[in-house]
Amino acid sequence: MHCDITIQTAPFDLGAEEAALRVHAGDAGALVAFQGMVRGHDAAIPLTALFLEHYPGVTEAEIRRIAGDAAARWPLTAVRVIHRVGSLAPGEGIVLVLVASGHRAAAFEAAAFLMDYLKTEAPFWKREHFADGSQRWVDAKASDGDAAARWA
Amino acid sequence: MHCDITIQTAPFDLGAEEAALRVHAGDAGALVAFQGMVRGHDAAIPLTALFLEHYPGVTEAEIRRIAGDAAARWPLTAVRVIHRVGSLAPGEGIVLVLVASGHRAAAFEAAAFLMDYLKTEAPFWKREHFADGSQRWVDAKASDGDAAARWA
Amino acid sequence: MSSIRILYFGRLKDAVGHADETLDWAGGTTGQLLAQLRGRGEAWAGALAEGQVFRLVVNQQIVRGDADIPPGAEVGILPPVTGG
Amino acid sequence: MSSIRILYFGRLKDAVGHADETLDWAGGTTGQLLAQLRGRGEAWAGALAEGQVFRLVVNQQIVRGDADIPPGAEVGILPPVTGG
């Protein structure tokens, strides 16, 4: 299985990543993409920016490990994960997961599995910056832990 | 909910469709895309082309109806479906489903639901053309009916 | 005299030998239409056997059960679908 | 004398007041390290309370349970994660 993991500050482009992945996806009939975007109006005060940090080296290795777990579980031909760090504006993409497989159910499930992992286990931390100048580290959500528990 | 359904002979572009959808997706934090491609080596003899036909008017209306069902079931902000008809070469995209939502589980489930519908209920028929000159109408798969039954 | 227009799709087109036809029709149901077409002989009975017909469409609406076909209607006969 | 390097992430950086530190370390486990840091006072005990520490990383490897920290190690202390 082809597997490409990147943590970057730069924006990503779904169309370009899809084209790049298909070079490695072989005769896969199914491609599932998940793109997460910064929400500007989730809290009472509008968000002006989201700041993300990670643990360089460790975060990349952990995502690569979990992508290997996914490949052992579903018949995947290619996986691409991009996670952004640094300062992001509302509407910008935070995370992109692309999965190619010969089977659509496998592609859907593996993409959901990787996203649940990225939400609940991957070493990333978000800080919200609000229009009134305040900021806070985001609390981990119990619902994300529940989602990840589906795969245990 | 924004809903855009197209049946077309022309190729589609995931990146362009994602950009167009995001104009209508509001403050959605999650976007799931499914792209189906023509497989060239599913059978004993290599495939040279896939020919698809539909029931003009009826097929579009049925997909629009099922997208409405999905929007009643999950909190979606935008849905885009493109299904190609006519003659397609191996590797070409056949079907594109894009779903935007505030919640990633909703986006994943609605995209899988729409794909199951497109595979088992939407009026499309595929004919395979093989390298030895033979051709045949594709048989409906029992596994696709099982997938759709999940949502009943 | 009243008639209906019948459209065949996918493998049904090949099985019955044409994509569409116009049939004299004074009124009746989808069940009566299928029985009449199957009565044309073994080839038709086989082509339109239970597992070969997935849906019937009357005037662009998918119908369930034994639905009315008014004179002048367009009737689509759909084999099992294979989209996506 | 041997030491370890400790890295704090996310809200733990703010809670303990710095992103990293070097600590004298003759050897011991992750449990002993956490106990020692919590012993620095109420602010540290609160910052590093059970629910505030999600994972420990020793030399770039996530560890479970009470893992050994060799002298010279890099130790990451990770609060609950909020990626995606």
Structural domains for chain D: 3-78 (3.10.20.30)
Kindly state whether residue A144 falls inside one of the protein's structural domains: no
Residue D74 confidence (pLDDT): 98
Respond yes or no on whether ipTM tops 0.90.
yes
Taking an 8 Å cut-off on Cβ atoms, the answer to whether D10 and A83 are in contact is no
The SS3 call for residue A38 is: coil
In Å, how far is A70's CA from the nearest CA of chain B?
17
The model's pLDDT over A22-50, given as tens digits with 9 standing for 90+, comes to: 999 988 999 999 999 999 987 889 999 99
B148 has pLDDT over 90: no
Residue A83 confidence (pLDDT): 98
Query: What CA–CA distances, in Å, run from B10 to B30, B92, D13?
Result: 27, 11, 54
Which chains, if any, share at least 3 CB pairs under 8 A with chain C? B
Kindly state whether residue A6 falls inside one of the protein's structural domains: yes
Residue A42 confidence (pLDDT): 79
Burial (CB count within 10 angstroms: exposed 0-12, middle 13-18, buried 19+), residue D78: buried
The amino acid at residue B19 is A
**H helix runs in B25-103, sequence order:** 58-73
Kindly state whether residue B57 falls inside one of the protein's structural domains: yes
Locate the DSSP E strands across chain D.
Answer: 3-8, 20-24, 28-29, 55-58, 61-63, 68-69, 74-78
Mean predicted lDDT score pLDDT of chain A: 95
Kindly state whether residue B151 falls inside one of the protein's structural domains: no
Taking an 8 Å cut-off on Cβ atoms, the answer to whether A40 and B27 are in contact is yes
Residue B37 confidence (pLDDT): 97
A143 has pLDDT over 80: no
| Nearest-Cα residue of chain A relative to residue B143 | A105
Say what percent of chain B tops pLDDT 90: 87
The model's pLDDT over D23-73, given as tens digits with 9 standing for 90+, comes to: 999 999 999 999 999 999 999 999 999 899 999 999 999 999 999 999 999
Angle between helix axes B142-149 and B104-120 (nearest 10 degrees) is 140
Kindly state whether residue A123 falls inside one of the protein's structural domains: yes
Interface test with B, best of A21, A23, A34 (most B CBs within 10 A): A34
Residue D41 confidence (pLDDT): 95
C1 has pLDDT over 70: no
Going by beta carbons, is chain C in contact with chain B, meaning 3 or more pairs sit under 8 Å apart? yes
Report, as an integer, the average pLDDT of B3-32: 96
Residue D1 confidence (pLDDT): 63
- Which residues on adjacent β-strands are paired with residue A131? none
Taking an 8 Å cut-off on Cβ atoms, the answer to whether D84 and A36 are in contact is yes
Measuring CA to CA, which residue among B95, B78, B89 is closest to residue B3? B78
Measuring CA to CA, which residue among A12, A1, A15 is closest to residue A86? A12
Kindly state whether residue A59 falls inside one of the protein's structural domains: yes
Angle between helix axes B104-120 and A104-120 (nearest 10 degrees) is 180
Structure tokens at A127: 């800080």
> What is the C-alpha to C-alpha distance for residues B82 and B80, in angstroms, rounded to an integer?
7
Taking an 8 Å cut-off on Cβ atoms, the answer to whether D83 and A125 are in contact is yes
Query: What CA–CA distances, in Å, run from A147 to A109, A117, B108, C84, D39?
Result: 12, 9, 12, 28, 35
Structure tokens at A25: 């996806």
Contacts of A65 in chain D (CB under 8 A): none
Measuring CA to CA, which residue among D2, D15, D24, D4 is closest to residue D78? D15
B118 has pLDDT over 70: yes
Report, as an integer, the average pLDDT of A128-138: 96
B74 has pLDDT over 90: yes
Kindly state whether residue A146 falls inside one of the protein's structural domains: no
Taking an 8 Å cut-off on Cβ atoms, the answer to whether D84 and A61 are in contact is no
Contacts of C11 in chain B (CB under 8 A): 125, 137
The amino acid at residue D58 is V
Kindly state whether residue B143 falls inside one of the protein's structural domains: no
Cβ atoms of residues B28 and A37 within 8 Å: yes
D78 in contact with A, Cβ within 8 Å: yes
Measuring CA to CA, which residue among B6, B30, B20 is closest to residue A39? B30
In Å, how far is A36's CA from the nearest CA of chain B?
5
Structural domain span for residue A50: 2-133
> What is the C-alpha to C-alpha distance for residues B84 and B51, in angstroms, rounded to an integer?
10
Residue of A52, A55, A120 lying closest to D78 (CB–CB)? A55
Higher pLDDT, B141 or C46: C46
The model's pLDDT over C52-72, given as tens digits with 9 standing for 90+, comes to: 999 999 999 999 999 999 999
Cβ atoms of residues A94 and D84 within 8 Å: yes
Taking an 8 Å cut-off on Cβ atoms, the answer to whether B108 and A104 are in contact is no
Instruction: Give the number of domains in chain A.
Output: 1
- Res. A72 pLDDT band, cuts 50 70 90: very high
Q: How many CB pairs under 8 A join A and B?
A: 104
Residue A111 confidence (pLDDT): 98
Q: Which residue has the tokens 């639901």?
A: B113
Mean predicted lDDT score pLDDT of chain B: 95
| Nearest-Cα residue of chain A relative to residue B27 | A39
C20 in contact with B, Cβ within 8 Å: no
- Which residues on adjacent β-strands are paired with residue D3? D24
Residue of B19, B33, B102 lying closest to A33 (CB–CB)? B33
Cβ atoms of residues A104 and A30 within 8 Å: yes
Report, as an integer, the average pLDDT of A11-23: 96
> What is the C-alpha to C-alpha distance for residues A110 and A21, in angstroms, rounded to an integer?
16
- Res. B141 pLDDT band, cuts 50 70 90: confident
Going by beta carbons, is chain D in contact with chain A, meaning 3 or more pairs sit under 8 Å apart? yes
Which CATH number is A67's domain given?
A: 3.90.1170.40
Residue C58 confidence (pLDDT): 98
Angle at C77 between CA C81 and CA C61, to 5 degrees: 90
- Res. B44 pLDDT band, cuts 50 70 90: confident
Report, as an integer, the average pLDDT of A115-142: 94
